[in-house]
Amino acid sequence: MSQLDASASAVTDFEDLLPRRSQRSLLRRFSRHRLAAVGLGILLIFGFLATFAPIVSVYDPNFTNLDILRESPSLSHPLGTDAAGRDVWARMLYAGRVSLAVGLLAAAISMVIGTVLGLVSGYVGGWVDNLIQRFTEIIMMFPTLFALILLVAVVGSSVINVIVIIGALGWTGKTRLVRGQVLSLKEMEYVTAARAIGAGGTHLMVKHLLPGVIPYVVVATMLTISGAILSEATLSFLGLGVKIPTATWGNMINSAQSLNVLKNEPWLWLPPGIAISMTVLAVNFVGDGLRDALDPHSILD
């Protein structure tokens, strides 16, 4: 067998190995992580409730009834009503749609930006690497919360703007993470073999390097989801996030700034606070489970 044929065979063998291992043991390894399974269950429940909010609750989240202002929990209103007479349970469900969407979409934006820049920076190197890394460092210099507040104040606080801003500021860590992995992976024998048989730069990055960094990107993205939810909640708590009447878990706890509400009306802020905490913990648990399941060091298990 010629050296060229041997190189092609090595690349093919490695490409075939990942799918076989993934199909055989990914779910098995994930299921071993009990907290990850619990976290996934919590996320599925919240996702179900948010998706089918019109069925789970009979009330319009924005319908006001001045006859039942700040009513405590009852059979007709399981979580009571707020200062405008709106049903808190209905607002919780619809707020879940927005808060979960902010987390998922912002994380997706940061994942795409960070992965692309990290791949290019690590593989191309030279002045391109220096340019990307210096730009990354400039973005990292600004305090995240300050940058969020500044940008939201400039462009507005709609749901789309909040998603884009959080996503556009959350890619720096992924870029550095992916770059570090690519610098290691591009010296591996299977990459050298692919280059020897004429694979171009784009093909090498997408076909051979990207699969090797996916486990790290997935875990980092899960952490970004929880971070994005917390960022939106922080902005909304400060009155700078998504504006009422659109409900989010963040702007629902905005009422907790009042001492009277904190002491006497916990149904206004405790449920969204618990929802945020449980979602963030669940996402982190799932991220830990995925990290173990996708661990490239156990690829031959």
Q: Compute the half-sphere exposure of residue 195: CA atoms within 13 Å on the CB side of its CA.
A: 12
CA distance 88 to 201: 54
Element counts in the chain: helices (H) and strands (E): 14, 0
Question: Is 123 domain-assigned?
Answer: yes
CATH number of the domain to which 225 belongs: 1.10.3720.10
**Is residue 272 included in any domain, yes or no?**
yes
**Residue 72 placed within a domain:** no
pLDDT of residue 24: 54
Provide the CA 270 distance to its chain's centre, in angstroms: 23
50 in a structural domain = yes
Q: Is residue 279 part of a domain?
A: yes
Note whether 64 and 121 are within 8 A (CB). Answer: no
Q: How many domains does the chain have?
A: 1
In a domain, 49, yes or no: yes
Q: Residues with Cβ < 8 Å from 242, sequence gap 6 or more?
A: 98, 157, 158, 159, 162, 232, 235, 236, 248, 250, 251
Give the per-residue pLDDT at 117: 93
Q: Is residue 94 part of a domain?
A: yes
Q: Which domain holds residue 174?
A: 3-59+84-298
Q: Mean pLDDT, 10 residues at a time, over the chain (301 residues)?
A: 43 45 63 84 93 89 86 88 89 92 93 92 88 91 85 84 90 90 80 72 79 85 89 85 84 81 86 92 88 60 45
What per-residue confidence (pLDDT) applies to 299? 44
Query: 43 lies in a domain?
Result: yes
Give the per-residue pLDDT at 46. 93
Q: What is the pLDDT of residue 107?
A: 93
Dihedrals phi, psi of 27, to nearest 5 degrees? -65, -35
